[in-house]
């Protein structure tokens, strides 16, 4: 039986779940090598800290391993993500974490930004079919994994949050969809997506993507750190500093809360302008803020949007919703194809 996986390959982080386990790692790809690395701690290296993948004769480090050990590491922020094979590398690395003797066939739900759904057919062609990768162990490429991706469902990313809040894919296909016009504000690392759902139906004409996200704030923070402290860091090297509001300089911990807060406030203002340009806010019954960026700047947004709320677990809401949709699409619907979703009164 195929394993169903919800997989969100974000510009900032990759998130994946099969309902039993979940994983998240930075969307960073680096040039691999077989030089020995040594961990002096007695505990075994966590699997997410040591992600490596080989396809053909090419070896890559992924996530934290790329940040720590690659001479060339980067986070692809290109519009279409068609340069090279980074998207496939991140996608296959995530699936490899669920691979075992019982799970070699996968059905996957993933997403694209609202305005890039025209790329869905091309992306599906890149992801479907039999895949063979190799996993390095102790500097030797010895663990070969061959698996089959039999189905890929590609949806507008913010629908993942909608389904994570309202779709129960495990209750014999029954869904509980709220009435009214609901707007999803999905703030990611590179883009923000606005999705409108009217009485359970996605409305493409009232949905939009725009290229503003956490990366915009990261650039502002990076400029400030260079100006005030002479530090120059890539975006992936700022994750920990932004989350903790601290950075180490010459062995000293420096509080950068003021820099981060100023950048986040500017980002929130930009996004609010876009939201008000796309929607008449008073027409929406509910607004749901989601995504890693949504969580980061929710305090600024919620006080300006009276009907807004922060999604439950906004960092992984899309991923969880993708899984719920996959369960409805491939598991529950197979049990009883005659059942139709019902709405709350």
∠ CA 3-6-324, rounded to 5°: 90
Q: Mean pLDDT throughout 206-211?
A: 96
Predicted confidence band at 266 (pLDDT cuts at 50, 70, 90)? very high
The residues near 67 (Cβ < 8 Å, ≥ 6 apart) are 26, 28, 30, 73, 236, 237
Q: What is the pLDDT of residue 36?
A: 62
Query: For 329-344, what is the mean pLDDT?
Result: 56
pLDDT above 80 (res 197): yes
Q: How far is CA 312 from the centre of its chain?
A: 15
The torsion defined by the Cα of 213, 215, 217 and 221, in degrees rounded to 10, comes to 170
**Does the pLDDT at position 34 exceed 70?**
no
pLDDT in tens, 277-315: 999 999 999 999 999 999 999 999 999 999 999 999 999
Buried b (16+ CB within 10 A) or exposed e, 157-183: bbbbbbbbbbbebeeebbbebeeebbb
The answer to whether residue 336 scores a pLDDT higher than 80 is: no
192-198/308-310 β-pairing: unpaired
* CATH fold for domain 3-156: Nucleotidyltransferase; domain 5 (3.30.420)
Identify the burial level of 318 via C-beta atoms within 10 angstroms of its C-beta, where 0-12 means exposed, 13-18 middle and 19 or more buried.
Answer: buried
Is the pLDDT at 335 greater than 60, yes or no? no
The Cα 146–Cα 134 span in angstroms is 9
pLDDT tens-place string over residues 127-137:
999 999 988 76
**pLDDT in the model for residue 342:** 46
How far apart are alpha carbons 225 and 220 in whole angstroms? Answer: 9
The answer to whether residues 187 and 292 touch, using CB atoms and an 8 Å cutoff, is: yes
Please state whether beta strands 105-112 and 73-74 pair in parallel, antiparallel, or not at all (unpaired): unpaired
Domain boundaries, the chain: 3-156, 215-259
pLDDT more than 90, % of the chain: 66
| pLDDT per residue as tens digits for the range 84-133 | 688 999 999 999 999 887 778 999 999 999 999 999 999 999 999 999 99
**More confident: 148 or 72:** 148
For residue 218, is pLDDT > 70?
Answer: yes
Q: How confident is the model at residue 37 (pLDDT cuts 50, 70, 90)?
A: low
Read off the pLDDT band of 156 (50, 70, 90): very high
Percent pLDDT > 70 in the chain is 88
């Amino acid at each position: 039986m195929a394993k169903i996986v919800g997989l969100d390959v974000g510009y900032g982080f990759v998130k994946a779940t099969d309902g039993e386990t979940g994983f998240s790692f930075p969307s960073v790809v680096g040039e691999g090598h077989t030089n020995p690395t040594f961990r002096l701690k007695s505990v075994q290296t966590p699997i997410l800290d040591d992600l490596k993948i080989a396809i053909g004769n090419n070896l890559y480090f992924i996530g934290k391993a790329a940040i720590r050990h690659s001479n060339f590491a980067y986070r692809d922020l290109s519009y279409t993500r068609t340069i090279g094979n980074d998207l496939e590398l991140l996608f296959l690395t995530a699936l490899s974490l669920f691979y075992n003797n019982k799970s070699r066939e996968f059905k996957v739900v993933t997403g694209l930004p609202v305005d890039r759904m025209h790329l869905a057919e091309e992306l599906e062609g890149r992801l479907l079919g039999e895949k063979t990768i190799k996993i390095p162990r102790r500097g030797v490429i010895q663990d070969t994994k061959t698996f089959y991706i039999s189905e890929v469902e590609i949806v507008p990313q913010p629908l993942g949050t909608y389904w994570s809040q309202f779709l129960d894919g495990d209750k014999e296909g029954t869904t509980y969809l709220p009435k009214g016009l609901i707007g999803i504000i999905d703030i990611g690392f590179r883009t923000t997506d606005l999705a409108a759902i009217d009485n359970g139906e996605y409305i493409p004409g009232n949905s939009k993507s725009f290229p503003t996200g956490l990366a915009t704030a990261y650039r502002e923070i990076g400029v400030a750190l260079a100006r005030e402290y002479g530090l120059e860091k890539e975006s992936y090297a700022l994750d920990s500093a932004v989350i903790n509001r601290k950075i180490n300089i010459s062995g000293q911990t420096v509080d950068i809360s003021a820099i981060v807060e100023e950048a986040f406030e500017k980002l929130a203002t930009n996004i609010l302008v876009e939201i008000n340009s796309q929607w008449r806010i008073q027409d929406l019954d509910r607004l749901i803020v989601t995504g890693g960026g949504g969580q980061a700047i929710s305090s600024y947004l919620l006080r300006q949007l009276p009907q807004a709320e922060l999604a439950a677990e906004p960092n992984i809401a899309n991923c969880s919703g993708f899984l719920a949709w996959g369960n409805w699409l491939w598991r529950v619907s197979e049990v009883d194809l005659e059942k139709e979703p019902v709405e709350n009164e």
